[in-house]
A and B are shown apart, each in its own frame.
Chain A
């Protein structure tokens, strides 16, 4: 056990079961988990995942003073040269916006801040005073205002990017792929419940519990077998806070600039990558009544939980094909 591994994750967090080795540690304001099919490859995989997570955090964490995304914000609309990681994160966010018709948009950072999510989640006041009328919600400026030219990016003055809707999932995809490549092992990476897989697959596939909270260990929760690709869940139940008597959550509807009011409280999607899964889960939540049709049209296996707890499955999600509770 190297000092580096011990620093990232205490040895007592390592678990070996069914020939899989797993380790968890706090990262990106949530929990990172790495599982490998070859226990001897755990340290190599962990190092790679930790490095990828750190690179993404340094590029896109809008609450970190030294983050690159903060330099964009401070540039006042000027072109800024960015790292390949941030450029890729912004590109992915813009592609997600394009392919969801703007339902998932990176320019909602200002709306999130105005609602009270303006610092690291651990420091956000869960029960703050009511928002002033001057802080009335307005639609997001929209992703088309962001310009990319090679390694330079320009964001209009006053526009705050929030890459959270795609960044964490993209990080999971990238980390899993790179860890599998360098370790030679099958790798599963979960970043706060955004699950990506790469490399060889355990017998049958990766078993993933589906829950509304990624910390759940409910033995009755449905299980999904993932042979390849990613799984992601978006929910309005987590990262909720109050401003006066008004509840807010982190899933922002770019069309209104405020927390999405949806028929669904939780949506889980499986896709060829965690990035696509997370994007489409968020898009379905924001789309509300149209979310089910959106996912069905995309032919993605998905499980939607309505506000009243009714469960609906589409796109060949195993086990349940019609709405039920």
Chain B
């Protein structure tokens, strides 16, 4: 009886071990698949955010390279000259000291 009990237990332990191994292997495969997709998604997200941040950086549009759509400045070499963008302006706070004057010369 005791021997039977030990054999059954050993078989059970072996089965449990095998099941754990199986689960672990499947988990690793899943993890590998997931990490592949995650890495790709992270790369895409970082590229997207970088592009957005680049667009939003102050002064970026003030570099006179090219104008397309509403991108801003004029021009020369390869640029179209559009007038669809008003820069970014707003009301100055009361009492502010001007850095320059826009007027005719």
Q: How far is the CB of A195 from chain B (nearest CB, A)?
A: 5
**Complex contact A205–B90 (CB within 8 A):** yes
A11: interface (CB < 8 Å)? no
Complex CA gap A199/B75 in Å reads 18
Q: How far is the CB of A231 from chain B (nearest CB, A)?
A: 4
Q: A88-B77, A95-B81, A319-B91 are in contact. Are A177 and B64 (CB under 8 A)?
A: yes
Q: Is the interface of A mostly helix, strand, loop or mixed?
A: mixed
Query: Hey, which chain A residues are within 8 Å of B98, CB to CB?
Result: 207-209, 223
Q: How far is the CB of B88 from chain A (nearest CB, A)?
A: 4
Interface segment, one of A2-10, A60-68, A132-140, A233-241: A233-241
Complex CA gap A181/B75 in Å reads 18
A-binding residues in B (CB < 8 A):
58-64, 67, 70-77, 79-93, 96-105
Query: Hey, which chain B residues are within 8 Å of A14, CB to CB?
Result: none
Q: A35-B99, A173-B64, A275-B73 are in contact. Are A200 and B104 (CB under 8 A)?
A: no
A158: interface (CB < 8 Å)? no
A288: interface (CB < 8 Å)? no
Complex CA gap A194/B99 in Å reads 13
A262: interface (CB < 8 Å)? no
Q: How far is the CB of B60 from chain A (nearest CB, A)?
A: 8
Complex CA gap A234/B102 in Å reads 9
What are the interface flags for A221-260 relative to B under an 8 Å C-beta threshold, 1 for contact and 0 otherwise?
A: 1011111111111110111000000000000000000000
Query: Hey, which chain B residues are within 8 Å of A20, CB to CB?
Result: 99
Q: A226-B89, A228-B61, A272-B67 are in contact. Are A91 and B102 (CB under 8 A)?
A: no
